[in-house]
């Protein structure tokens, strides 16, 4: 249940950042909230002649997404 609250909070925060990006012409404050950081492992392929496997993942974080996750954790603790 905790994971669900965190996941929904992250999605809500990301949705708010997309709305903010579309609604504003861009300014220092909106750029602060919607600037994304994308940590992760860039895709790489392991070729073993018989088969090949591609590994990789990435996350996309912004301040509103992190605030959404924090709100989800808070709501989980209140429930």
Each residue's pLDDT tens digit, 2-23: 999 999 999 999 898 888 888 8
Tokens for 43, please give them.
């895709």
pLDDT one-digit tens code per residue, 25-75: 767 777 777 788 888 888 999 999 999 999 998 888 888 899 999 999 999
Write out the H or E segment, with its range, that includes residue 32: helix 28-34
Q: What is the pLDDT of residue 70?
A: 95
Q: What is the pLDDT of residue 28?
A: 77
Q: What is the pLDDT of residue 9?
A: 93
- Provide the Cα torsion 19, 22, 24, 30; round to 10°: 60
Q: How far is CA 41 from CA 25, 46, 59, 60, 78, in A?
A: 32, 14, 9, 12, 35
Domain boundaries, the chain: 2-41+58-78
């Amino acid at each position: 249940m905790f994971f669900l609250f965190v996941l929904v909070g992250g999605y809500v925060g990301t949705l708010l950042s997309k709305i903010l990006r579309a609604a504003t012409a861009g300014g220092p404050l909106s750029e602060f909230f919607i600037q994304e950081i994308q940590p992760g492992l860039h895709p790489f392929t392991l070729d073993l002649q018989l088969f090949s496997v591609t590994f990789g993942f990435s996350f996309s974080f912004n301040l509103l997404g992190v605030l959404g996750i924090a709100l989800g954790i808070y709501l989980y603790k209140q429930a």
